[in-house]
Structure 1
Amino acid sequence: MSAGTMDHPAAPLLQILDRAQIGPAAAGLVLDAFSARPAPVIGVATGSSPSPLYDALADTQADYRHTTWFALDEYVGLPPGHPESYAEVLRREIIEPLGLDPRSVHLPDPHRADLQAACDDYEGLITAVGGIDVQILGIGRNGHLAFNEPGGALDSRTRVEVLTEDTRRANQRFFDSLDSVPTHCLTQGLGTILEAGQLLLIARGKDKAPALRAALKGPVSPDCPASVLQLHGRVTVLADTAAASLL
Structure 2
Amino acid sequence: MNIHILRSKAEIDRAVADLFIEQVKANPNSVLGLATGSTPLGVYALLAKDHKENHTDYHNVTTVNLDEYIGLPDGHPESYKEFMKRNLFNHINVDFNRVHIPSIQGTYEESCKAYNDLLNQFVPDIQLLGIGANGHIGFNEPGTKADSKTHTVLLAEKTRLDNARFFNHIDEVPTHAITMGIQNILDAKRIVLIATGASKADAIYKMITGEITESLPASFLQKHSNVDIFLDKEAAKLLLKK
TM-score range, shorter chain: over 0.9
Please give the per-residue CA displacement for 1:25-78, whole angstroms capped at 9, x wherever unaligned. 001111232244340000000011111111111121211111110010000010
1:172/1:150 CA distance change after superposition, 3 Å: same
Deviation of 1:102 (Å)? 2.1
1:73 alignment partner AA: D
Give the secondary-structure state (helix, strand or coil) at the position aligned to 2:238: coil
Deviation of 1:123 (Å)? 1.1
**Partner residue of 2:88?**
94
**Partner residue of 2:77?**
83
1:131-210 to 2 correspondences below 5 Å: 131-210=123-202
**Partner residue of 1:213?**
205
Please give the per-residue CA displacement for 1:7-37, whole angstroms capped at 9, x wherever unaligned. xxxxx10101122211110011112322443
Match of 1:51 among 24, 41, 62: 41
Distance across 2 between alignment mates of 1:99 and 1:210:
39
**Partner residue of 1:239?**
231
Distance across 1 between alignment mates of 2:83 and 2:120:
24
**Partner residue of 2:114?**
121
- Structure 2 runs not aligned, ≥5 long: none
1:108 aligns with 2:139: no
2:153 alignment partner AA: E
1:223 aligns with 2:215: yes
Q: What's the C-alpha RMSD, in Å, of the aligned pairs?
A: 1.1
C-alpha contact 1:23 1:55 (8 A) present in aligned 2: no
2:116 alignment partner AA: E
1:182 alignment partner AA: P
Identity %: 42
- Structure 1 runs not aligned, ≥5 long: 1-11
| TM-score scaled by length of structure 1 | 0.92
1:80 alignment partner AA: D
1:97 alignment partner AA: H
Give the secondary-structure state (helix, strand or coil) at the position aligned to 1:201: strand
Deviation of 1:119 (Å)? 1.2
Deviation of 1:241 (Å)? 1.3
Q: How many residues align?
A: 234
Deviation of 1:96 (Å)? 0.8
Distance across 2 between alignment mates of 1:167 and 1:28:
29
1:28 aligns with 2:15: no
Q: More relative contact order in 1 or in 2 (CA 8 Å, sep 6+)?
A: 1
**Partner residue of 1:9?**
none
